[in-house]
Amino acid sequence: MFLLLATYSLWLMDRSLRAYSGGSESSGQRGIPLTPKPSV
């Protein structure tokens, strides 16, 4: 359970960092994510 939360938090941070650098979430979603989206 802790591993899932840690992976999800890392994924959220990666998304926010890409949003800041890319300027929009759409550009970040088109790129290859560093951390895979956890399938709940």
Position 27 scores a pLDDT of: 47
Cβ(15)–Cβ(25) under 8 Å? yes
Which three-class secondary structure state does DSSP give residue 35?
A: coil
Asked which of 7-11, 28-32, 33-37 is least confident by mean pLDDT, the reply is 28-32
Position 37 scores a pLDDT of: 63
Cβ(37)–Cβ(11) under 8 Å? yes
Position 31 scores a pLDDT of: 53
d(CA 13, CA 24): 15
Position 32 scores a pLDDT of: 55
